Amino acid sequence: MNIAQVASTVYIVDDDEAVRDSLRWLLEANNYRVRAYPSAESFLTEYDEQQAGVLIADVRMPGMSGLELQEQLIARKSTMPIVFITGHGDVPMAVSTMKKGAVDFLEKPFSETDLREIVSRMFEQANQRLSVAHAKRSHDAMLGRLTAREQQVLERIVAGRLNKQIADDLGISIKTVEAHRANIMEKLQVTTVADLMKVALAKPEGVA
């Protein structure tokens, strides 16, 4: 994985300055890079979908809550893992946020050991998600080089159709099918039909 894509920053969103300071101190003492925000709104103002990291957010804040922030990040297709901190932790809320991609819950007051373990696990998940997203982008970009007609031909090759059948399906000559087939193999950087099938059917590891 490219080093620029490795998650390396912990983002803290909490309206309680004392909590932000405590978290920053504990995390920086464990050699993490930290950026803290007093509200979900201020975090989103600076948020870039491409930034890599993990998020620790308070559940209950004035204005946008931590749960609403999670919804915003889901809508933006963020892969950033989230840990919620709360003084009002309840099981239904925890289950709901975990199903939407939160990693864990931290209940106030929390210990340095709990924080360290959870953040370590968050970074493992963040980098795994980044790796999967990068593989999917690379795979999609490779298939994206094909023209619409080439994609139609590829779909039929994958379905096991012969050149003559593909020609009949698309109303083109066999020679045109052969030309498209050659272009497809060149663009996908393969030399055999077996390798072509592998690329066309490949699903980057970790992608559901």
Collect contacts of 172-178 with beta carbons under 8 A, ≥24 apart.
177/153
144-201 fold:
Arc Repressor Mutant, subunit A (1.10.10)
Q: How many residues does the chain have?
A: 208
Question: Does an H or E element contain 82, and which?
Answer: strand 82-86
How far is residue 99's CA from residue 167's CA, in Å, rounded to a whole number? 47
**DSSP state for residue 128 in the 8-state scheme:** H
**Domains in the chain: boundaries:** 3-134, 144-201
One of 3.40.50.300, 3.40.50.2300, 3.90.76.10, 3.40.1010.10 is the CATH number of 3-134, namely 3.40.50.2300
3-state class (DSSP) for residue 61: coil
pLDDT tens digits, residue range 59-98? 889 999 888 998 898 888 887 888 888 776 555 666 666 6
pLDDT of residue 90: 59
Give the predicted TM-score (pTM) of the model: 0.62
pLDDT tens digits, residue range 158-201? 898 999 999 999 999 999 999 999 999 999 888 888 888 888 87
